């Protein structure tokens, strides 16, 4: 029964991000309320002062302006105290010459991490490398979970936000690694035909490999 309860409470794609009050390196915040009208990426890391997490934070920090240009904010999280976060970002600035411009949630008792399914029962209390992309209406649009042992690709997170926003604006599907797909480049996918007449017409027109695989330039 307890496992069923945990699963049912873990948000799914398309769900509203849960209303929570958090403590961060930039002060207290209310999610998603304080980010109304903006997209945000919430990403967790296993712990401060760890090598893989440090490489990820440097990558996120260096790309923060690119996210901001898409009306998207970054928020970090781990089950560490805020003082640990502050000392770690200070170390990054002093030793790697990179300023971390975004807040980091101090989820000391793991309540938010547990609510979002960021803690693997076989990995102790450390969070896995989760990514949640939340849109400007507070809806969860993407979730990615990496194991503790493998660093994530920040460029992929950036690409995914760009693709989600493009879909939102144009209501089209995007191919693998868009806008750099190996087959159709930066073109987009046209929804498959829904009836025989349209399917037959699709076969005769350009920009289609078949009735179910058509693409176009935007």
Query: Hunting for tokens 């604006």 — which residue is that?
Result: 169
Burial-class residue 5 by CB neighbours within 10 Å (0-12, 13-18, 19+): exposed
**Rounded to whole angstroms, how far apart are CA atoms 59 and 69?**
16
Catalytic residue among 53, 72, 208, 214: 53
Identify the three-state secondary structure at position 111.
helix
Catalytic (active site) residue 53? yes
Alpha helices in the chain (DSSP H): 2-9, 51-62, 64-69, 82-96, 111-115, 154-170, 196-204
Catalytically active residues, by annotation: 53
């Amino acid at each position: 029964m307890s496992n069923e309860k945990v699963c049912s409470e873990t948000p799914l794609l398309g769900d509203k991000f849960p209303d929570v009050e958090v403590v961060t390196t930039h002060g207290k915040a209310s999610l998603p309320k304080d980010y109304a009208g903006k997209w945000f990426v919430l990403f967790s890391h296993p712990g401060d002062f760890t090598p893989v997490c440090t490489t990820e934070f440097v990558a996120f920090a260096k790309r923060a302006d690119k996210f901001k240009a898409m009306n998207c904010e970054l928020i970090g999280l781990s089950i560490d105290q805020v003082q640990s976060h502050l000392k770690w970002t200070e170390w990054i600035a002093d030793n790697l010459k990179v300023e971390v411009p975004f807040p980091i949630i101090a989820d000391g008792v793991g309540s938010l991490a547990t609510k979002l399914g960021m803690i693997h029962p076989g990995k102790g209390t450390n969070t896995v490398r989760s990514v949640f992309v939340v849109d400007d209406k507070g809806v969860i649009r993407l979730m990615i979970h990496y194991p503790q042992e493998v660093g994530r690709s920040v460029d992929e997170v950036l690409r995914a936000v760009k693709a989600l926003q493009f879909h939102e604006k144009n209501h089209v599907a995007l191919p693998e690694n868009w806008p750099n797909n190996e087959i159709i480049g930066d073109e987009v996918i046209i929804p498959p035909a829904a009836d025989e007449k349209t399917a037959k017409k699709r076969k005769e027109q350009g920009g289609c490999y078949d009735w179910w695989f058509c693409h176009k330039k935007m």
